[in-house]
Amino acid sequence: MIIIDLQSRIPIYEQIKEQVIKLVNCGVYKPGEQLPSIRALSKELKLNVNTVKRAFIELEADGVVYSLQGRGVFVSETAINNTKVHDDAIRNLEIAVNSAVSKGISREEIDTLLNSIFKEGEKDDRN
């Protein structure tokens, strides 16, 4: 379910975080539901346990999951429509847009990009 790009400059634990959030937002994992164990996940993704653990520590701090010793990791009730995740996403997007604008990217180009991204998304939804 989770795909890691080892070549990416985005840290692996960030990639895990992002994809877990995505899976929760897509409804693959629902609040209260148990997630795969960090050991199972680290084995599946061929990563060190600590790398996966790091992702889950941050997901827990962000209120997306909670972990119970000896029992496992579960999706928290506040996972969907999570304010911290939302606000972070908006802030990052703002920085990225400002950076693009200062490099000469026009509003038209951004709209074209958005159209192609959201068109792509609709296709996925049909599946």
Query: Which residues here bind DNA, judged by CB under 7 A?
Result: 11-14, 37-40, 47-51, 53-54, 56, 67-73
Residue 57 CB contacts under 8 Å (≥ 6 apart), including other chains? none
Q: Which does 64 bind (CB under 5 to 8 A by kind): DNA, its own copies, none?
A: none
**What residue ranges bind its own copies (CB under 8 A)?**
6-7, 9-11, 18-19, 21-22, 25, 57-58, 61, 66, 68-69, 71, 80-81, 85-86, 88-90, 92-105, 107, 109-111, 113-114, 117-118, 121
In DSSP terms, which residues pair with 72 in a beta bridge?
68
CB 72 within 8 A of CB 37: yes
CB 20 within 8 A of CB 38: no
Q: Which does 86 bind (CB under 5 to 8 A by kind): its own copies, DNA, none?
A: its own copies
